[in-house]
Structure 1
């Protein structure tokens, strides 16, 4: 049985880890290098590092910080923010990233997914989808959740899968930071429709929420930030809890 992944997310702004609610109301959550090291010790399966203002401010992900983090950890590591070309991805590969996450740039120019997959392999390409409800329909949002598009989330996910994405990082903006649980219906439908893995993101507030997303959907990973950063859910305890629910995790 494929073991489910527990994935802390480090949102980076100006070199420090931050966390918001519904993509706004940002507050500091600590030093990213120290957090990354702590998560390795606690048994996180992977890390995601997102420079949350890179696209909005029109600059590149802070490759130097990626390099520093890569030196300190020995688990898979995804990096995103401001990646708009194969050259940008190459810089991050050289800095030590195992995968890159693309979002707004892929919406602007979908062939970017294929270009990066052709260069490095599908397993290297994570397409992040920020999903928001617009008149009761799930639409793709860009620019850090600030701008709605006309793209339907389901159609876009299928398109990037066909272009060579190896994984989808699905964030429900309505759930993000609320600690009210993952968007189970949306996650469940997408995981049924696609052949590639889906990481559920947005809304984790309790250990039960992680169990729900693994029991009720085919998501292969669950991502969270504040509940891990502020010690509300220790990863070792979470994994023990999931084991009691007969959910396969790496201990």
Structure 2
């Protein structure tokens, strides 16, 4: 059996938060059923060179396919889009989506109770505010027409925070240039998402599984999330999610 070994870069080995993130990645990987993802074969988080060794699933990457055959178009591109939706559905079956809080960096939001009395921007259709109140924490409603406007209200000080899906609010927060905002990291829920898609295309499903596998294996997913969302302190999952069987 051939193994793929992921090492924590030497420049991060002395950083506690980097080791903690690596540990969370290992924990998430071990939650995934072995029949639908690469198995974790061995790991060492405490040594001088922390590593995670997992089963290597061989196959071409999307980059290799494009370099060999050229850009996808027509039916192939449509299958890629449909398969991507399939993969997104599967990702959240691993329980890697969370609701969280976005606030200015000057705010101290360390626990759910820290939201008591805060001005929280809520946009139509979101239910996180109701969930927070059901947990016994009351706050002041500040209404915004959409998440983008809520992020702007957090930035200009007319709201103390906004709440919602962590990836969504991290994306809106990362677009702000004039003020430092951060994801609080409360992870109020762990939940699954669903995506509507056309059924009956196992070929596209398998191809997308290969692409998703490649993006996690070669570090593309981690690099893109860090590049675009790292500035708001978004703690993303780096372990490859459980993929749907086709």
TM-score for the superposition, normalised by structure 2: 0.27
TM-score for the superposition, normalised by structure 1: 0.27
* Structure number with higher helix proportion: 2
* Structure number with higher strand proportion: 1
